[in-house]
Structure 1
Amino acid sequence: MMLTFKIAALLVSLPLTLSTIPVHAANFFANSATTPPPGTSPLHHQLKQLAPQASPDALRMAAQALSCADPDAERLAVIDYSLPSSEPRMWVFDLKQHELLFEELVSHGQGSGDALAEVFSNTPDSHQSSLGLFRTMNSYYGSNGYSLRLEGLEPTVNDLAYERAIVIHGADYVSEDFITQTGRLGRSHGCPAVRTDVTYSLIDSIKEEQYVFAYYPDPAFLAESTYLNCNNDTQMAQR
């Protein structure tokens, strides 16, 4: 009886290691640190880990839209137009390698606002930025130098992007010096322009069948977006 008691006491005093825990329990402990909290998707959780300074709503909706359009996508750029242009508000993610590739300044259109973008449209010659999910196309050299064509995927929201020549390009008015002088970035004709120093590397990282999601808490956009109101028909059409 005394021997049994001593053995039990010895077992209690042994250090608990993963090698002494059953496999299923060990897996629970190993994965608990990376398990998304309730109410978030794995992609949303990944984006939040890589860019904790970004707006949670922007990342959540970007994840929702991309999960509807292409769950196997490799690269995603998120633009958060709810932030002023004087702050970094564009993030480029490598979803396969779990890396944040860029955190950048990005301009908005002249027609969308001054330091803050507040008005968005799909209208030609409005000089306004568009919201929603875009698929990237080919790079080319145009009037703004090295540029990247965008295909707007959302009817009535951004599907005239190609017709409007809404592209990613570099611009000298996207810089810290411009912010120091004016308190904001310069503005485009609706294009998401970036710093000239990163134009080539940023465009090359997301060109050809990758994705860009532009966010702003606009009630009409949130209600009309095909990919934020995803259903089985939308997913099947994308496939």
Structure 2
Amino acid sequence: MFGFGKKPPASANASPLHSESKPASNASTITAGRRTSSEPALDSMTVQELENYAVNQAEETTKSVSNCLKIAEDIRQDGARTLEMLHQQGEQIHRTHEMAVEMDRDLSKGEKLLNSLGGMFSKPWKPKKTKDITGPLTSKDDNYKAKQSRKEQREKLGLNAKGKSAPTTPPCEPTNALQKVEMEKAKQDDALSELSGILGELKGMATDMGSELDRQNNALDHLETDVDELNSRVKGANQRTRHLLGK
């Protein structure tokens, strides 16, 4: 009557459910497109392409395992050198303590001489000794055994070897994709087995390092005690010498 017409009913194509389903459909299409762009479409590959893809993946895995093995071998080399340096440091501590023992012998002779000189002036003197200089805790036999143990350990780690001998019969060349994949799997198994062995060796080396450090700490404590005793006696001998010269 007033000229106002009714709004036409919403068509089925304009329903909210239909309008909302379009973005979802577009999103799924985009997601699928992104996935297929970064990943190979295995469903659309031929048998030959699938075989080549399997071989390539096996070779890439072999390279990754080989890289891990190379890193472990480098760590083993560094660990062996560190352990060797620790043993050399222990030998230096041992030699230093032996020098302290020789110093004790020379000092004892000097103290006897000062005592004899003191008798000439009716001033007998007896050096103060709070403890005996016992020397290093380890003996030469212990050092020899340690050297033999290190030599055996280096041979066990393959650090003294000239290299692995080549197999007498070379492996057969694979003729198809399945054989190539199996060959790569065999390489991976060998590398993983060797990697497991190296990790076990590294654990043993870490234990040896800890034991060697504990032994050296004890040796240094013992050396420090002997050096303090020698230092006190040297000071006493110097005072006695100045006293005699002053007379």
Q: Determine which structure has greater relative contact order: mean sequence separation of CA pairs < 8 Å that are 6+ residues apart, divided by chain length.
A: 2
TM-score, normalised via structure 1 length: 0.19
Query: Hey, which of these two has a bigger chunk of strand by percent?
Result: 1
